Amino acid sequence: MATSTQQKQELFKAIWATAEDLRNSVDGWDFKSYILGILFYRFISENITSYINKMQRDAGFPDFDYTAFSDEEAAGAKPDIVREKGFFILPSQLFCNVRNRAKTDPNLNVTLSEIFKAIEASAVGTESEDDLKGLFADIDVNSNKLGGTVEKRNEQLTKILNNIGGINLKGDYEDNQIDLFGDAYEYLMAMYASNAGKSGGEYYTPQEVSELLARIVTHNRQWVNKVYDPACGSGSLLLKFAKILGAANVKHGFFGQELNITTYNLCRINMFLHNINYNKFDIRNGDTLLEPYHWDEEPFDAIVSNPPYSTKWVGDDNPLLINDPRFAPAGVLAPKSKSDLAFTMHMLSWLSTEGTAAIVEFPGVLYRGGKEQKIRQYLIENNYVDTVIQLPPNLFFGVTIATCIIVLKKSKKENKTLFIDASNLFVHEGNKNKLSPENIDAIVDEYADRNVVPHFSALVDNAAIAENGYNLSVSSYVEAEDTRPQTDIRELNARIARIVEHENRLRAEIDAIIRELEAQTI
């Protein structure tokens, strides 16, 4: 059953009220960690309860309720549950039971701390260990930000538990709550990104941009083998494939790497909140350019990414990198001050022969000279650039410039590149621009059809791009429409004639006045 608009609005209202309440006591935007963490805690509690209840009821125990089961009897099932779900929670540790006891638990902060450690520890020594490790690290239940005393901190923790527990998730768990938990997470991340300014961009790619990238990469596909994002942030780009294709149609899972430890934790939480099981994702923490983790998984059929814009990297200060099989083919490394095309070369290297990569890029990579021009030369001469799309400005949080999308393929049928100018395709919402469903459809349709539309698209021979210095700026190939009012030349000539006639009449009158004054002085 799909989540209704009314349910979503009720959910968002409750989250906003919780955030507003916490904002009064927790500095900055730190309260997001508490909301997301407790939301995650509720999710996995209800997830494991639903799983065990169904298993027992299918076995002939229709009234079984895991929330009321004893810890001693439940412990025996731990190995099997961890093998299937990736984690284990004792009945007494479940969100609903802890919430019910919270008001009378003088050691609530200790209780929660021990439960979070126990959940992570339940996966130690199993296949899911890396997926659970550190997931609760950002929830400091003993922080002075929650209150100056243990009593005050526990009051605030009780309030958070009640607020999160009070969110009304209607309907059966399997039919409804998975969507609602995912929607709750995405709403919080959008709220965070819009308030955090530039820093929010590293956590969140707007959903409509994620959808555009995923639809481009999945065009004419009913399924993909594996999805990869080397700068995965909170995972929104990866998860869009689960929504568009269905998680089961991403056959071998979701792969990503993220440098920021907090964002890395958020991404793994996001996977669980969207009911992607631990054995269907592999998210790693580290520097993709210097220490990529997924050598054994490449190549990938589908790659999407919104990597950091023009950030520094070691570049040719490390003489070994020029021999790295990801970067060596171009014969040059991306400049140390601008890592954009290093990410591009990395993704191209790990792209399968029949795969597609769609990458959000800083516009400078399309036209800057030097090493970047040489990398573009390599891309064009080997016919890897399929499409370049100019996006509207002000789509991303903290970034007002107009970004672009580069689509890469290794098996193109023609030695041409498609350019699409979508800079005017947007609707204004609040203080941001946004791609509407109609805008996305228009871009995807042109990408698929490759029918040249004046002032919107151009299909350019790669030889012409080479003659233009390997410049990939869309404006160099798609002529902007002249929207200035058109002037009727006959009306313009008539207007000029009237002006000249008027000037001649004035000049004649002035001459007459001068002659009259001269006559009076004689």
- First-to-last alpha carbon distance for the chain, in angstroms, is 104
Give 229's strand partners: 256
Other C-beta atoms within 10 Å of 264: how many?
A: 22
Contact predicate 82/277, CB 8 Å: no
pLDDT value for 20: 76
Q: What kind and span of H or E run contains 358?
A: strand 351-361
Closest CA to 210 of 186, 179, 185, 178: 186
Q: What angle do CA 227, 448, 255 make, to 5 degrees?
A: 5
Closest CA to 330 of 376, 285, 284, 282: 376
Report strand pairing: 416-421 vs 457-461. Answer: antiparallel
How confident is the chain (522 residues) per 10-residue block, as mean pLDDT? 62 77 65 83 93 93 95 94 96 97 96 97 95 91 87 91 80 48 69 58 74 95 95 91 92 95 88 90 96 95 93 94 96 96 98 97 94 98 98 82 94 95 91 91 96 95 97 94 68 81 80 71 62
Other C-beta atoms within 10 Å of 147: how many?
A: 17
Q: Which residue has the tokens 């990408």?
A: 447
Closest CA to 355 of 456, 516, 220, 518: 220
pLDDT value for 178: 44
SS (H, E, C) 475-492: HHCCCCCCCCCCCCHHHH
pLDDT value for 503: 81
Q: Residue 512, class by beta-carbon neighbours within 10 Å (0-12 exposed, 13-18 middle, 19+ buried)?
A: exposed
Q: Going along 59-142, which residue ranges are E strands?
A: none
Distance CA 470, CA 500 (A): 51
Q: What kind and span of H or E run contains 301?
A: strand 300-305
Distance CA 34, CA 38 (A): 6
pLDDT value for 174: 47
